[in-house]
Amino acid sequence: MTNLDDYFLEGFDCADCQENTFIKNEYYMLHDKIWCSVASKFEMLCVSCFEKRLGRPLFREDFVDMPINFGCIFSQSKLLFSRINTKNNIKGIEQNV
């Protein structure tokens, strides 16, 4: 195993459930304001754990417009793909906290 393999296997564990976000295909970027509202800058969180902390599902508007969020760089779990491709139409849910 290379050092890069070790990094992805050991450095990507979700802070809450300890599942590896890289293996789970849940490596993504959100707007700083929403991420920092429930997590520290250097924490890793899978989508489910992030949503539990946030108290609502993620929507397309929460994600940064970067290639990493479009499946160009890493594969995406079904859950991550569905969140990135779901626009917020729920009244009363604030965008970007």
What's the number of domains the chain is made of? 1
pLDDT along the chain (97 residues), means of 10: 63 93 92 96 95 96 92 87 82 52
Residue 19 belongs to some domain of the structure: yes
Per-residue pLDDT at 91: 53
Residue 40 belongs to some domain of the structure: yes
Residue 57 belongs to some domain of the structure: yes
Residue 89 belongs to some domain of the structure: no
User: Among positive and negative, which fits the CA dihedral 8, 68, 54, 90?
Assistant: negative
Neighbours of 19 (CB within 10 A): 16
Can you give the residue range of the structural domain that contains 44?
Answer: 3-84
Residue 92 belongs to some domain of the structure: no
Residue 35 belongs to some domain of the structure: yes
Cα–Cα distances in angstroms (integers) from residue 44 to residues 18, 49, 88, 93, in the given order: 9, 10, 24, 24
Per-residue pLDDT at 74: 80
Per-residue pLDDT at 39: 96
